[in-house]
Amino acid sequence: MSILVDRNTRVVVQGITGKEGAFHTRQMTAYGTQVVAGVTPGKGGQEMDGIPVFDTVEEAVSKQEANTSIVFVPSRFALDAMVEAAEAGVSLVVCITEGIPVHDMLRAFPLVRSYGTRLIGPNCPGLISPGKAKVGIMPGDVFTPGPVGIISRSGTLTYEIAHHLSQAGLGQSTVIGIGGDPVVGSTYADLLPLLAEDAETEALVLVGEIGGTAEEEAADWIAAHLHIPVVAYIAGFSAPPGKRMGHAGAIVSGGEGTAEAKAARLEQRDIPVARTPAQVSELLEGRRR
């Protein structure tokens, strides 16, 4: 099995008629994902490549039985879009939008959760269960079905590491990009228990970067609860303190959040840390022997 998305996932795309929404809708449907509806206020009754467009998520859920939303709306509308999807009853919201103000996320997170909805993102590539469904912007051709789960704060590093794993014959069960903003809807700690319960996931790759303490917290949880091979990669060993690198959350401040500190905690918990993306597959093969 996989976690969060599979062949039964029915997706509504918020912002489907925009440039990014339309492009990635086509990529998702080409991969085999069931995109059953789109939402653009004021364009209800139209279609995009045969996919019905509605004015509200509530209509998409009621008429097309959508159970998952992916958000491609501009940052100033993202808060309302996420909350609207949760209010409509979808179980999963994947927010691709970047540049959402932190205070908007501080409002969105508890509201979305109060409806029992899980949020992935924002500023993330989404997630994929190879061979089953992808809900996001990940390039499907670098992923192959298999036993390795991946949780990552990075987008492009996820693709590169998955490619190396696939080349080594290590396919993936579920790959989740949680996003690199300071406030995200689901952290490593939120998602690790799901992968721990997934019989199809026999190994795990944790992809982190500088900033915050999420990787250290994940290392502690893994050491206490997870009994499968785990390998990590941390981006940012050469990052200067106080300078944001890539994501809004990737910044070392007050001596916390360095790549060295994260690697030290992981290695203390018997989780080897690769120094290059290509080394991840080598370390994982060694752990699985």
Q: Tokens 């990590």 label which residue?
A: 232
Active-site residue identified among 24, 163, 164, 247? 247
CA dist., res. 88 & res. 235, Å (int): 37
Least Cα distance to 149 among 115, 114, 188 occurs for: 188
CA dist., res. 68 & res. 4, Å (int): 9
Is residue 247 part of the annotated active site? The answer reads: yes
CA dist., res. 194 & res. 192, Å (int): 5
Element (H, E) at 188: helix 188-196
Element (H, E) at 108: helix 102-114
How is residue 189 written in tokens? 């700690």
Least Cα distance to 232 among 180, 189, 269, 184 occurs for: 269
CA dist., res. 5 & res. 25, Å (int): 16
CA dist., res. 37 & res. 165, Å (int): 33
Q: Left if phi > 0, otherwise alpha if psi is -120 to 50, otherwise beta: which for 49? A: left
At position 177, the amino acid (one-letter code) is G
Active site positions, annotated? 247
